[in-house]
Amino acid sequence: MKSHNSIRKFIFFVLSLIGFSSDMRGAVVLNFDSLITSPAGGVSNGFTIADSGFLLTADTSDKREFRGYEDGWQLNRGSSNGSTYAALWTASFLPLSFMIEPTLTPAFDLISIDLAEMLNNGDPSFDRVARRVSFEGHLLSGGSVTQNFILDLSSDGKGGGTDFETLALLPSFVGLSSVTIKASSGNSLGTYLAFDNISLQGAVPEPSVGALFGLALLLWGLVQRTR
Ligand SMILES: [Ca+2]
Ligand SMILES: [Ca+2]
């Protein structure tokens, strides 16, 4: 009877381990809707943004902070998608970059991101267009994956056009310990990149059933010994 009980407890133990590892694989969309904003324009929100198990760190050459933008803060200027979004920008020819890391899981998958450039109809002094955007994913298992995009040059603020594009990452952007996103305009006015709706999935490296069973046995042994 006692051994039946022990077996039942052991099976429960293994199942809870499996449950624990799958709980950490939740899908998350970072929508930046809780950033601080102003009707007058972008508001600095610091060099880091922590949200839902992920950390974004700005690494701009001239130390600009992440900015929060209210949708439609100016007609025909900035970018618009009907919600609050985040942006980074730099002065002069400087490129900009930021990094995404998981804080609750060792690794994550990057699925997609909405990006927009800033164009200002009729005022070239505001054309800080992030034209080229590159993604470099660092794999937890070593090595890296890269993907480059050219933005569509369509951005008219709160006008009729679609400013943000949803860019889907390659299926190889899985099991990442971090991703660095870089943008450049090749423009003396600097670079501006707006982003929103980063779709991610926290990932623990898939443990094999054998490894889980071994871990359960080990823990089980320890529990029995301490009794
Ligand atoms: Ca948003
Ligand atoms: Ca666009």
Any idea which of 57-66, 119-128, 145-154 has the lowest mean pLDDT? 119-128
Nearest-Å Rg of the Cα atoms of the chain is: 22
- Look at 10 and 206; give whichever has higher pLDDT: 10
Both structure tokens of 42? 């972008």
Any idea which of 4-13, 18-27, 143-152 has the lowest mean pLDDT? 18-27
| Domain of residue 186, residue span | 26-203
Same domain, 72 and 149: yes
Contact between 163 and 76 under an 8 Å Cβ cutoff? The reply is: no
Q: Indicate the number of domains in the chain.
A: 2
Residues 31, 54: Cα–Cα separation, whole Å: 12
Ligand nearest to the CA of 68: 1
CA of 221 to the centre of ligand 2 (A): 58
CA of 175 to the centre of ligand 1 (A): 25
Same domain, 9 and 33: no
Measured at the CA of 143, the angle between CA 138 and CA 147, to 5 degrees, comes to: 60
Ligand nearest to the CA of 197: 1
Same domain, 106 and 120: yes
Segment 165-216, tens digit of pLDDT: 999 999 999 999 999 999 987 667 778 889 999 999 998 766 555 666 677 7
Same domain, 127 and 172: yes
CA of 208 to the centre of ligand 2 (A): 43
Residues 175, 106: Cα–Cα separation, whole Å: 8
Same domain, 15 and 107: no
CA of 152 to the centre of ligand 2 (A): 5
pLDDT at 52: 95
CA of 192 to the centre of ligand 1 (A): 17
Any idea which of 91-105, 118-132, 185-199 has the lowest mean pLDDT? 118-132
